Structure 1
């Protein structure tokens, strides 16, 4: 699992990075909200962990910018503030979960393991982008009509929706969608991209996957953003 950690307390950041590395996670640490936005725009992550009170740009301000760009990656907010209003503000900005400081490192790692298990099993999340809806648990794509997807098509489209508007390299797509023991190359990925393009057309969606063979690829809303993009947890 690849994680973006935005925490301005460098000693705490070092401890968190060391702990997450110890259980096999890849972590990119940054130390203010602006760096978090820049990193999020450049990369594909399975999880982002943001402190609220950071210099240059707060965690909530950074989250709002990331969500407005179409990124729906799961986000956990770290906060030393216990007031309900602060948590509501963060959730309204697009946060998925909260951990209040001081927190148990064991609790954080347990949450990460739980999130990883949910990701492997698809979860019951329904993802929306533009005029399409992806029901991952049912492996179904819906727009003006609906169509079934294969397991790999579902994972691939899930990743595209979570990182909508980003240009994603072929190697990143292969790494996130296929197991390490699978012998998958860019030609095989291109075949799956072509399948998804055909299925998006078949449901009359105003969403397209842009990019030539070999990548990078980018999920685009061609309807001018007239639809609300959202993530709904069932």
Structure 2
């Protein structure tokens, strides 16, 4: 899952992004509202975490522009403005959630998981397809009841595919969910990750949709 973090406090931004990356999120960081809107135009962001106190424009204005241009983009407001009226203004402007500072990272992670489920086909933190079960909260993976360990990016890739079971995931979209701006990505990176994943999963668990991407069928599809 690729997050755009819009926070002008650079030490806080660095701490937040490090925590999010440690939880296997891909994070792009910007410090101004206009930068955020420019990044969103590339259509590679899944969720926005938005501070309201930005130096170039009010965060609510950024939110309104997001809603005007990308109506379905999930947005969590993260701000020191903790009055009820501020919360109402944020939610009325189109925010999906509102988290006042200071906050607990576990609460932010929980709210992100809710938005992730809304974007995918999974209905809970435990996603089970056939003999493969993945707890998206703890990132514990089992195959036929046996625990399986995966490298970070393979685990992130499997998480995206399982959370969107039954949906075709284009190669470009998978790349955007695994790598941040500025990362060097070779043309066959996703193919290599899929190749390694298949060695640890049941036969034909991941389907190749030639010329498009990959999918994990559900219910025998």
Give the TM-score category using the shorter length. 0.5 to 0.7
Instruction: Supply the distance in 2 between the matched residues of 1:101 and 1:53 (Cα, whole angstroms).
Output: 12
Q: How does 1:51-130 map to 2 (within 5 A)?
A: 51-122=51-122
Given the alignment of the two structures, is residue 184 of structure 1 paired with residue 185 of structure 2, yes or no?
no
Query: 2:13 matched to which residue of 1?
Result: 13
Any idea what SS the aligned residue of 2:62 has?
A: helix
TM-score (norm 1): 0.55
Instruction: Supply the distance in 1 between the matched residues of 2:72 and 2:173 (Cα, whole angstroms).
Output: 17
Instruction: Supply the distance in 1 between the matched residues of 2:174 and 2:36 (Cα, whole angstroms).
Output: 21
Given that 1:78 and 1:100 are in contact with CA atoms closer than 8 Å, whether structure 2 keeps it comes out as yes
Please provide the CA RMSD for this pair: 3.3
Given that 2:51 and 2:78 are in contact with CA atoms closer than 8 Å, whether structure 1 keeps it comes out as yes
Distance 1:16 1:122, change over 3 A: same
Any idea what SS the aligned residue of 1:48 has?
A: strand
**Aligned residues, how many?**
152
Instruction: Supply the distance in 2 between the matched residues of 1:186 and 1:70 (Cα, whole angstroms).
Output: 29
Instruction: Supply the distance in 1 between the matched residues of 2:100 and 2:176 (Cα, whole angstroms).
Output: 32
Distance 1:56 1:118, change over 3 A: same
Any idea what SS the aligned residue of 2:112 has?
A: helix
Structure 2 unaligned regions, length at least 5: 124-162, 178-189, 198-205, 214-221
Instruction: Supply the distance in 2 between the matched residues of 1:90 and 1:98 (Cα, whole angstroms).
Output: 7
Structure 1 unaligned regions, length at least 5: 124-150, 160-168, 190-234
Instruction: Supply the distance in 2 between the matched residues of 1:187 and 1:56 (Cα, whole angstroms).
Output: 42
Given the alignment of the two structures, is residue 34 of structure 1 paired with residue 58 of structure 2, yes or no?
no
Task: Give the Å deviation of 1:120.
Answer: 4.0
Tell me the alpha carbon deviations over residues 33-80 of structure 1, each in whole angstroms, 9 at most, x when there is no partner: 111111111132221100011111121111111111134111100121
Task: Give the Å deviation of 1:170.
Answer: 5.8
Instruction: Supply the distance in 2 between the matched residues of 1:35 and 1:175 (Cα, whole angstroms).
Output: 18
TM-score (norm 2): 0.58
Instruction: Supply the distance in 2 between the matched residues of 1:91 and 1:154 (Cα, whole angstroms).
Output: 32
Given that 2:2 and 2:27 are in contact with CA atoms closer than 8 Å, whether structure 1 keeps it comes out as yes
Distance 1:106 1:117, change over 3 A: same
Query: 2:24 matched to which residue of 1?
Result: 24
Instruction: Supply the distance in 2 between the matched residues of 1:152 and 1:22 (Cα, whole angstroms).
Output: 22
Given that 2:121 and 2:164 are in contact with CA atoms closer than 8 Å, whether structure 1 keeps it comes out as no
Given that 1:174 and 1:184 are in contact with CA atoms closer than 8 Å, whether structure 2 keeps it comes out as no
